[in-house]
Structure 1
Amino acid sequence: MARCQFISIALLCTILIITNFTTKVVCHTKGLRPGQHVPINPFPENSTRAELIEKRFMKWVQFIGDLDHSIFKQAFNKVFPSYTITVDKNPTAGDFTSIQAALDSLPLINLVRVVIKVNAGTYTEKVSVTAMRAFVTIQGAGADRTVVQWGDTADTLGSRGQPIGTFNSATFAVNSAFFIARNITFKNTTPVPKPGAVGKQAVALRVSGDNAAFVGCKFLGAQDTLYDHIGRHYYKDCYIEGSVDFILAMLFLFMRDVMFMQ
């Protein structure tokens, strides 16, 4: 039994690494076997390409955000059940008083959906979701009620006395796959830089994991507010605010009902 669990965990690690560092689709080959392939029209009648993409993405969001979900579905959940953690500024009202502490409590290799409910309040902290802690949902009490903020810039000095750069200036950094955020604000408190200023990139959120979704969220900052770094990401009913190049996108992202303010 222990050997089977070890093999399952090793297999999952491989899957997560592949998913997190490539944008290719990993799937089985059943549909490619001779005599079994049936052509399917990818764009049904009366459906535009954009509408179809959104429907498929929302179907994925619903599936991946379900507490019953895991990489091996129901059978795997019998061994590794999903659960919810609560974060509250009041130590007696939740399991943790900071978002990072809640994330640090997860296994180094997270195998199932974990919902971290962040109650109303302003959380002044720098947060990072590590690469192997996949399947995390951050659920706020409302974008105007739950705020996570920090104030680093690209020229902020790190532990070795060197500027941390744009990549590490993020208030909230997502490095894992299958991340979801709902109803929360990500904010970089750095003020708008003066014209010609150098090294003032100040990221509110950086996403470096594949298959992430943000619904009902706000992203507030000045320069490079949203750093959409690596992977495929979906934004719906969101608000993004900045002054200079406030969206830095390098790969594929899909936005629906998103408001921009400069």
Structure 2
Amino acid sequence: MIMRLFMFILVLGGASFEVTSNRLSQYEVIEKDYMNWVKQKSSFKHSLFGKPKNKLKPCLTIRVNKKPSLAEFATVKKAISSIPVVNHCRVVISIGAGIYREKIEIPATMAYITIVGAGADKTVIEWDDTADKMGQSGHSLGTYGSATFAINSPYFIAKNITFKNKAPLPPSGALGKQAVALRISADAAAFIGCKFIGAQDTLYDHIGRHYFKHCYIQGSVDFIFGNGLSLYKHCHLHAVTNSYGALTAQKRESMLEETGFSFVKCKVTGSGALYLGRAWGVFSRVVFVYTYMDKIITPRGWYDWGDKNREM
């Protein structure tokens, strides 16, 4: 049984938004492809998001390296802190190989940040918070606050880097063990060649228009979740669960919302039994197009979150 406004599509029609040019680098092509997609989505007259005003040409490059002699900063957090709180130009932070054990949050006014690693297998930002952990306020962090890397500013780009939450895989039915690797809570963001590693609630695709290409996303339950309007192209989605899990939990609450997750030419692998999604919102919307799936998907496909009103 398929959830209301969930879709499983085998054929994709309509215009292509790919950009190709012999004079552009691979990443310039991907970035232009991404901007074309964002501009096309802005034509839908979103109430929350206006026409994108991205800036791809950098005005400053900052280097981060575990060896201080090779860069301006030894930590990612210090590099980000060096950028003006209200930022108006594209700043590239080039991060050398290594494991950076840091918890990072980019404020809403610090737009146009690009994070570039030495390779997703070489550059890792990791932390291990869970939703039930107590924060400095004396209250639990919650899912929102558990993120290793959180982005609140628009026009963010990440390339060739891993975002990881090291919290262990929770037992079935455990409470408060949501552990976000990355949270994106802003518009017009792109992730290219990145890895997102975690267990429950790995990637919080919270709000905004987001573009993921050639990414690897690993988790157990609801490991891609939120209410973003997001396109995932050529991504590898890998489940790590010994029992039942869910790939997505999309939170579209109204037929008037234009949010949803689209997976195009992706691959789903892993262990356990996996739902394609759980209907977190009454009108949850997820699309899979030309996507390979291992024999781990439950025949039912979708779960209604215990609410029959979320079924067609």
Q: Same fold (TM over 0.5)?
A: yes
Deviation track 1:180-214 (CA, whole Å, cap 9, x = no partner) reads 00000000000000111100000000000100000
Q: How does 1:124-139 map to 2 (within 5 A)?
A: 124-139=101-116
- 14, 18, 28: which one pairs with 1:49? 14
Residue 126 of structure 2: aligned partner: 149
Higher strand share: 2
Residue 9 of structure 2: aligned partner: none
Q: How does 1:113-132 map to 2 (within 5 A)?
A: 113-132=90-109
Paired residues of 1:65 and 1:180 also in contact (CA < 8 A): no
- 49, 67, 85: which one pairs with 2:57? 67
Partner secondary structure for residue 247 of structure 1? strand
Deviation track 1:135-174 (CA, whole Å, cap 9, x = no partner) reads 0000000000000000000001011221010001000001
Partner secondary structure for residue 102 of structure 1? helix
Deviation track 1:62-94 (CA, whole Å, cap 9, x = no partner) reads 7946325xxxxxxxxxxxxx1100000111111
Residue 109 of structure 1: aligned partner: 86
Residue 60 (structure 1) shift: 6.0
Residue 200 of structure 1: aligned partner: 177
How many Å separate the matches in 1 of 2:32 and 2:94? 22
Partner secondary structure for residue 246 of structure 1? strand
Residue 20 of structure 1: aligned partner: none
How many Å separate the matches in 2 of 1:127 and 1:254? 24
Alignment of 1:181 with 2:171, yes or no, is no
Paired residues of 1:65 and 1:137 also in contact (CA < 8 A): no
- 175, 198, 202: which one pairs with 1:225? 202
How many Å separate the matches in 2 of 1:57 and 1:260? 20
Higher helix share: 1
Backbone CA RMSD of aligned residues: 1.9
Paired residues of 1:57 and 1:234 also in contact (CA < 8 A): no
Alignment of 1:216 with 2:193, yes or no, is yes
How many Å separate the matches in 2 of 1:107 and 1:86? 16
How many Å separate the matches in 2 of 1:88 and 1:57? 26
How many Å separate the matches in 2 of 1:210 and 1:60? 16
Residue 97 (structure 1) shift: 0.8
Partner secondary structure for residue 93 of structure 2? strand
Residue 71 of structure 1: aligned partner: none
Residue 99 of structure 1: aligned partner: 76
- 221, 226, 229: which one pairs with 1:244? 221
Residue 244 (structure 1) shift: 1.1
Residue 59 (structure 1) shift: 1.9
Which stretches in structure 2 are left out of the alignment for 5+ residues?
Answer: 1-11, 20-28, 36-52, 240-312
Please report the TM-score for the alignment, with normalisation by the length of structure 2. Answer: 0.62
